Amino acid sequence: MHFQKIEFDSIYFNIHLLSEGIYAAIFKQELGASSNAGIFDLGNISVIFDTLMDPWATKDLIRAVNTITNREPFLLINSHYHLDHVFGNHLFPKSMPIMSSPATLEQFGKAVLEAFNRLKTQAPNQIQTTKELLQKTTDPKKIKEYENDLLTYKEVQNSEFRLRPPDLLLHDKIVIHGSERSVEVMNVGNAHSYDDIIAYFPGKKICFMGDLLFATLDPEWAKGINGTPWARDPTNFKSIMEMYLKKDLKVYVPGHGPLCSTIEVKNTIDFLKKYFLSN
């Protein structure tokens, strides 16, 4: 899919202009399968949809908001509780609210903490591996990436490091009205995770789907990912995807991978039917 790429210097993601004031930060695939994010310039306020797993990528995301909108972000939305979508929360000022579902907040004391502790345990080995990679490369971008990774692994080992949970809870739906455009933010219930949140621009036919949508699918996910089900509620998951397929949107922004069309939505429905709802 072809949308204007905004000139912005980040080693982590590219920014695509989907419609006036609506931007998708798509993680560079050559760096791995990290998550995407959204920037919504609503006129008088700016909203970020999801953080990025790498804190340096999230710092770039905040810088992008300031550059594009000439203002600080007003609100951050966490689509769900998985660490790659909430790890960057701690980089936002305490004065700025973070919105999530109640289930996402609840998981901060459970699955999010467990995932962070795994990351902390893995940090010494990751530091050693990253140092070895750093010694082997002469690519300035890879050098910067590895140096940032080392700083991150060292930071999570600090006993004073704390994740930041959300503080504004969405049970159903809210419409955020800006001076120039509005966005519908909806808790669609258990689907990929507990109480997934999506962001929808009806008039522009654009939807940020979080991890309800992946650009590519892997049958291995039917076994779960690190012990976590890929589809928490396959029946509701399928119903939501069918609902948004009927809307025939201009673009669907996935949680991971490049921008999507109805093709990937159909693939997700077929995937759920085959691996989760076949019995």
Above 90 in pLDDT, residue 209? yes
- State the chain's mean pLDDT as an integer: 94
Q: What is the pLDDT of residue 224?
A: 87
Above 80 in pLDDT, residue 33? no
Interval 79-117: pLDDT, tens:
999 999 999 999 999 999 999 999 999 999 999 999 999
Interval 221-276: pLDDT, tens:
998 887 789 999 999 999 999 999 999 999 999 999 999 999 999 999 999 999 99
CA distance 10 to 55: 13
Q: What is the pLDDT of residue 279?
A: 67
CA distance 60 to 231: 31
Mean pLDDT of all residues in 171-176: 98
Domain boundaries, given as residue ranges, for the chain: 8-108+164-275, 111-156
Q: What is the pLDDT of residue 58?
A: 93
Q: What is the pLDDT of residue 137?
A: 92
- pLDDT category, 40, cuts 50, 70, 90? very high
Nearest CA to 115 out of 218, 213, 225, 237 is that of 225
CATH number assigned to the domain with residue range 8-108+164-275, chosen from the 4 options 3.60.15.10, 1.10.760.10, 3.30.499.10, 3.30.365.10: 3.60.15.10
CA distance 206 to 32: 25
Q: What is the pLDDT of residue 32?
A: 64
